[in-house]
Amino acid sequence: MEFPQSVKDEVKRRSGGKCECKRKSCKHNGRCRSKATEFHHKTSAKAGGSNTLSNCEHLCKPCHENTRSYGSH
């Protein structure tokens, strides 16, 4: 399931185009701030996550690949 364009636009505004990842499992300290190109479901659609702003995270590719649910939505 894809996020609607309206949600993507709002997430882009929120992130400023920078990766929002704060995962400790990544190599960056604190927030990543690389150029964000991917939209990630915090809770995967399969697990009942919705395509809403609060469930969307703007991530760079390496961080997205580092999420457990990568490729499952």
With 0-12 / 13-18 / 19 or more C-beta atoms within 10 angstroms meaning exposed / middle / buried, residue 32 is buried
Identify the bridge partners of residue 21 per DSSP, sorted by sequence position: none
Nearest residue (CB) to Zn ion, 27 versus 48: 27
Nearest residue (CB) to Zn ion, 6 versus 18: 18
Nearest residue (CB) to Zn ion, 6 versus 31: 31
Catalog residues that contact Zn ion under the rule CB under 5 A: 19, 21, 23, 26, 32, 34, 60, 63
Cβ 40 to Zn ion shortest distance, Å: 10
For residue 40, what are the CA distances in angstroms to 15, 56? Answer: 13, 6
